[in-house]
Amino acid sequence: MQFKTSAPSNIALVKYWGKYDNQLPSNPSISFTLNVCKTEMDIHLKPIESSNDLINVFFEGKLQPSFATKIENLFRKISKDYPVVNSYKWEIHSQNTFPHSSGIASSASSMCALAKAIVFFQNNHQDAQEISKIARIGSGSACRSIYDYLAWWGKSHFVPGSHQEFAMDCSESIDSMFHEYCDTILIASSDTKSVSSSIGHDLMNRHFYKEKRYEQANTNAIEILGAMRSGDLEKFGEIVEAEALTLHALMMMSNPSFILLKPNTLQMIERIRAFRHETDLPVYFTLDAGPNIHLLYPKSIENKVMPWLNDQLKPLCENEFLIQDYIKYEAK
Ligand code: PMV
CA of 236 from ligand 1 middle (Å) equals 20
Can you give the pLDDT at residue 117? 98
Ligand 1: nearest atom to the Cα of 23: 3
Dump pLDDT digits (tens) for 140-173: 999 999 999 999 999 999 999 999 999 999 999 9
Dump pLDDT digits (tens) for 166-192: 999 999 999 999 999 999 999 999 987
Can you give the pLDDT at residue 58? 96
List, in order, residues 6 or more apart from 217 with CB less than 8 Å away. 14, 15, 17, 27, 28, 29, 243
User: What pTM value is reported for the model?
Assistant: 0.97
Which CATH superfamily does the domain covering 176-328 fall into? GHMP kinase, C-terminal domain (3.30.70.890)
Higher pLDDT, residue 104 or 115 = 115
The CATH number fitting domain 2-169, selected from 3.90.1150.10, 3.30.70.120, 3.50.50.60, 3.30.230.10: 3.30.230.10
What percentage of the chain exceeds 90 in pLDDT? 90
CA of 292 from ligand 1 middle (Å) equals 14
Dump pLDDT digits (tens) for 296-320: 999 999 999 999 999 999 999 999 9
Determine which of 98-102, 218-222, 289-293 has the lowest per-residue pLDDT on average: 98-102
d(CA 318, CA 332): 39
Span(s) in the chain for CATH 3.30.70.890: 176-328
Can you give the pLDDT at residue 66? 86
Residue 110 and residue 118 in contact, taking contact as beta carbons nearer than 8 Å = no
CA of 15 from ligand 1 middle (Å) equals 7
Span(s) in the chain for CATH 3.30.230.10: 2-169
How many CB atoms sit inside 10 A of residue 139's CB?
Answer: 24
Can you give the pLDDT at residue 101? 66
Determine which of 50-54, 93-97, 240-244 has the lowest per-residue pLDDT on average: 50-54
pLDDT of residue 264 exceeding 70, the answer is yes
